[in-house]
């Protein structure tokens, strides 16, 4: 049995934890200087209105999300609640399968069908009302790739 199958039968794992920040460069400096975390990648995801920095934390990532403008989802989030935990992403083996199960149970979803997220993963968001207040992202990497650094 491989390591990623351990613990739960469907192979779910924490792909990343995303934190909304006002200033990406200042936040990166903090995580580098205080925790020694390395930046894997910085990417602008226009569709979601964010600049994303991915930090290596072993088997998972921390993503820092800086809004491209105030009228983006992350910009509105920061205006309402301040910087902080934005979402947790679960890596899944089959995103359609997971979405179908959630839909069958009438779980409140933001995305009924997958879309393309940072790095080319197929992603969908589950509404925080369904998950006790935390926005939950599901992510399936293309065949043969993985979000984790090897
Ligand atoms: Zn994410």
CATH value at residue 84: 3.10.180.10
114 domain residue, yes or no: yes
Q: Is the pLDDT of residue 132 over 60?
A: yes
Residue 63 CA to ligand 1 center (angstroms) comes to: 7
CB 111 within 8 A of CB 102: no
148 domain residue, yes or no: no
pLDDT band at 7 (very low <50, low <70, confident <90, very high): low
149 domain residue, yes or no: no
Residue 18 CA to ligand 1 center (angstroms) comes to: 6
pLDDT band at 145 (very low <50, low <70, confident <90, very high): low
Q: Is the pLDDT of residue 150 over 70?
A: no
Residue 99 CA to ligand 1 center (angstroms) comes to: 16
CA atoms within 13 A on the CB side of 137: 23
Which uninterrupted H or E stretch holds 127? none
Q: Is the pLDDT of residue 119 over 80?
A: no
Residue 3 CA to ligand 1 center (angstroms) comes to: 22
145 domain residue, yes or no: no
Q: Which residue from 114, 76, 79, 81 is spatially nearest to 95, judged by alpha carbons?
A: 114
Residue 118 CA to ligand 1 center (angstroms) comes to: 8
Tell me if residue 103 falls in helix, strand or coil. helix
Domain count, the chain: 1
- pLDDT at position 147 is 53
Q: Which domain holds residue 62?
A: 3-140
Task: Say how far apart CA 95 and CA 98 lie, in whole Å.
Answer: 5
127 domain residue, yes or no: yes
59 domain residue, yes or no: yes
Q: Is the pLDDT of residue 25 over 80?
A: yes
72 domain residue, yes or no: yes
Which uninterrupted H or E stretch holds 137? strand 135-140
Residue 7 region by backbone torsions, left for phi larger than 0, else alpha for psi between -120 and 50, else beta? left
150 domain residue, yes or no: no
Residue 122 CA to ligand 1 center (angstroms) comes to: 11
């Amino acid at each position: 049995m491989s390591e990623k199958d351990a613990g739960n039968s469907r192979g779910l794992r924490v792909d990343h934890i995303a934190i909304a920040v006002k200033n990406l460069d200042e936040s990166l400096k903090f995580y580098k200087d205080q925790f020694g975390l390395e930046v894997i990648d910085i990417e602008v995801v226009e569709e979601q209105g964010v600049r994303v920095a991915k930090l290596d934390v072993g088997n998972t990532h921390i993503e820092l999300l800086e809004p491209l403008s105030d009228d983006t989802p992350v910009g509105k989030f920061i205006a309402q609640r301040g910087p902080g935990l934005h979402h947790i992403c679960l890596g899944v083996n089959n995103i359609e399968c997971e979405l179908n199960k959630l839909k069958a149970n009438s779980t409140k979803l933001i995305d009924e069908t997958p879309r393309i997220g940072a790095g080319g993963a197929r992603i969908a968001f589950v509404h925080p009302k369904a998950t006790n207040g935390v926005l939950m992202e599901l992510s399936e990497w293309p065949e043969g790739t993985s979000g984790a650094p090897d």
